[in-house]
Structure 1
Amino acid sequence: MAKNPNIKVRPWCPFCGQEVNPPTEPLKRKIDEFKVGNCQCGAVYTSDPTGFNVGAAMVECMIYACDENPDLAWELVADDDFLTGRIDNYDEVTHQVYEFKNVDGRRVAGVLYFIRLTRDLADLSKRLKHHKEKTDEVTSKPMAKLVVPPLEPERDPKRKKKRADKSKIKELVFSGNIDALVDFCFDDMKTLRFMLRLLYDPDEGKRWYCAQVIGQVCARLSTRKPGVVSDMLHRLYESCTDSASTHWGLLEAIGSIIAARPDIFGGFARHLLMYRGVPTSRALVLWAMGTIAETSPEVVRNTPIYSVFSSVNDPDPLIRGQAIRLFGRINAVELKSKIEEQVNDSAPLTVYEKGLPEHTTVGRLAHEALALMTE
């Protein structure tokens, strides 16, 4: 009997050595998709039948391993968070791996790409998926706590428009005259610029109060001119990224604006997390996300918020407290045990609510967060 010149074997898992079943079509259909499969050891795999789209297959495999959570997938670090493996010369038609790339005149160059998450990451992915499934019904409903300001009355086009000046705007801001500031915004767009200048103040209390006023003014202005507020948010983010500028009050203002109208500007919330790695901005990012979560927890939950989960154990009580405040408001039950460990923490901190300081402790914030959490 002649020896078969092209040896073939059934594909196997590179992690545990067991034979794997043929990949199947994913339940969740996409425009660009690959067949996927699961191994008994916890690994997942995708099939690229041509061998020309291995990069796309890798991405698909990572997202599939993270239970269709692309934000989590892009946060993973190779070798630390997951292991990879691949099998070449795979034929999707026969579900065999061949020694050579030619079978009966047919090219065989498919690739099975494998990924296995570490146990901690796999557990986190499942918890995030479970929480998302539980909250899908809630997030599809209107934002219960959100109070949408009524549509601003249309201004008379024949009116005599007011001209804004720095001293007048400063007086109105610190007197809390929102009505007059909104009128000035409709008459002279320089009003917003003058308000933003007030953020550059060494007095922390003034910065927080000014940020709150800016949020309230923008909430009403957005009923008629949302594009103006959107452009301002873009400029604020650009200023935060500029290493040559001072960031005083910018993240606070961004958080206040989004929190006032998350139904319009909620898409800007995820960009706050870009600054979580900056030591001077970490607490402000957590405060901003927590403030947004007060009226719209679903907006925060739809961001890669798990990237700041470790902040609950940060040695800085300000960061720790702001994180606990945030996680309670988004019902992060996956961190409930961590927060329970903080209930006796007497470290003091100051949290600004609606522009005013509130002196509290980490333990008190932990009690408040646990009271908000429901399984």
Structure 2
Amino acid sequence: MAKQHSVVRPWCPFCGQTVGKPSHAPERKMNEFPVGRCLCGAVYTCDATGHNVGSAIVETLVYACNDNADLAWELLPDDDYLTGRIENYDEDLNQVVAKKNLDGRSVRGILYFIRLHTEIQDIATRIKDKRVEALQEALPSLKAEMSLVIEPAPEKGHVPRKSNKRLVKQLVEENDIDQLVGLCLDDKKTLRLMQRLLYDPDDSKRWHTAYMIGKVCQRVSTRDPGSVSDLLQRLFEACSDSAATPWGMVESIGYIISLRSDIFGAFARYLYNYIGDNSTRNQVLWGLTEIAGNRSDIIRKTPFYNLFHYLQHPEAQVRGQVVRLLGRIKATEAAVQLMELTDDKEEFLYCVDGTLVSSTVAEVAVIAIQTINEGQKNEQ
């Protein structure tokens, strides 16, 4: 087919039907590729450069398994799924160019296809259905997220404002979320300028700035989720940079994900990458707790069992944060260990709506146990 015509529409290698242009999935993830789905059940991703085929294969397989990475790693090619690929794909025009060159522009894109065997598709569907049942508990917060009002488009004749460091700092200090949201939609560098404000030696100011970033991103994402997704990736990169100080980065990530977990919930598991560092452990635990407050099911799908040993950590700050987290996800598995902390009178700090508050490990342990017990009663 490709040999007879120099430029053709892409097709599914399994059924031969023409496929549409891949697009980003509604739920954003790290290192994502545009994805698509054929009517025959096959799914595909696009690697526009042709140099990241390995990553594209992994993402295609996970996408085929309804974003269940654990199931994807258990599958074997041919035994559990079929693969196919279309080369010389031009993402801009959604065409396959046999000559690998279009109007002087090199075309090297690849569409990678995977189609699960019927029985594996059934398993993936059943697992997804069980996850849907688990989401029933999170319905109140989900409905609140769905009720978010989409930011209005600029009026006709609106002149976009230019952002600058002084203006952004002033608006953050004044808690003027409305003006910041409008400024972000006018000038994309506003979020970068807000990120720079995180480099402040004052803990309380950093937490406040992180909160403001979260609240602004919550509204900006209704109109321009891509810019917020880009900010999240920059924040993660800053956390991974050994030559930089990740002041306020993890805190901002926690607020952004918790306030728009419907879009950015998939980013939550990457916070575990920074829990081993003393400088970010407290913030990671707080971020996971904040996310669990809105979507405990997201944290339940992460390796939270690895956090149990922190209940015996020598620092009250760490113990307190873990207790709050386990309470919010109603971790009955840790109920006995939580009981042992009801006499722990050491104090620790955590952030609520951008303000640091104090409590004792014992106080949050009692609350956590009550939450777990209430959850057990509701299940009976």
After TM superposition, the score normalised by the length of structure 2 is 0.63
Aligned to 1:123: none
Determine the C-alpha separation between the residues in 2 that align with 1:134 and 1:320: 32
Aligned to 1:258: 257
Q: What letter is aligned with 2:366?
A: H
- 3-state DSSP of counterpart to 1:168: helix
Equivalent positions of 1:227-238 (< 5 A) are 227-238=226-237
Distance 1:69 1:258, change over 3 A: closer
Determine the C-alpha separation between the residues in 1 that align with 2:325 and 2:130: 19
> Are residues 1:163 and 2:152 paired?
no
Determine the C-alpha separation between the residues in 2 that align with 1:342 and 1:331: 16
- 3-state DSSP of counterpart to 1:245: coil
- 3-state DSSP of counterpart to 2:351: strand
Q: Percent identity?
A: 41
Determine the C-alpha separation between the residues in 1 that align with 2:160 and 2:188: 11
Aligned to 1:344: 343
Distance 1:170 1:341, change over 3 A: same
- 3-state DSSP of counterpart to 1:210: helix
* Deviations, residues 201-226 of structure 1 (Å, cap 9, x unaligned): 00000000000010000010000111
Aligned to 2:33: none
* Deviations, residues 18-48 of structure 1 (Å, cap 9, x unaligned): xxxxxxxxxxxxx9xxxxxxxxxxxxxxxxx
Determine the C-alpha separation between the residues in 1 that align with 2:256 and 2:217: 6
| CA-CA distance at 1:70 after TM superposition | 3.9
Determine the C-alpha separation between the residues in 1 that align with 2:177 and 2:296: 26
* Deviations, residues 286-330 of structure 1 (Å, cap 9, x unaligned): 000000011111111111222222111211100000000000000
- 1:276, 1:308 within 8 Å by CA — same for their partners in 2? no
* Deviations, residues 141-171 of structure 1 (Å, cap 9, x unaligned): 6531242221111112521111111111101
Alignment RMSD: 2.3
Distance 1:291 1:280, change over 3 A: same
Aligned to 2:139: 143
Distance 1:135 1:319, change over 3 A: farther
| CA-CA distance at 1:133 after TM superposition | 11
Determine the C-alpha separation between the residues in 1 that align with 2:301 and 2:211: 24
Aligned to 1:126: none
Aligned to 2:200: 201
Aligned to 2:268: 269
> Are residues 1:324 and 2:323 paired?
yes
Higher Cα Rg, which structure:
1
Q: What letter is aligned with 2:278?
A: P
Number of equivalenced pairs: 251
| CA-CA distance at 1:283 after TM superposition | 1.2
- 3-state DSSP of counterpart to 1:222: helix
Is the helix fraction higher in 1 or 2? 2
Equivalent positions of 1:3-42 (< 5 A) are none
Distance 1:347 1:134, change over 3 A: farther
Q: What letter is aligned with 2:140?
A: A
Aligned to 1:294: 293
Q: What letter is aligned with 2:183?
A: F
Aligned to 1:58: none
* Deviations, residues 68-114 of structure 1 (Å, cap 9, x unaligned): 9949x99xxxxxxxxxxxxxxxxxxxxxxxxxxxxxxxxxxxxxxxx
Aligned to 1:185: 184
- 3-state DSSP of counterpart to 1:349: strand
Q: What letter is aligned with 1:145?
A: S
Distance 1:285 1:338, change over 3 A: same
- Higher mean C-alpha deviation, range 152-161 or range 207-216: 152-161
- 3-state DSSP of counterpart to 2:368: helix
After TM superposition, the score normalised by the length of structure 1 is 0.63
Distance 1:135 1:347, change over 3 A: farther
- 1:143, 1:295 within 8 Å by CA — same for their partners in 2? no
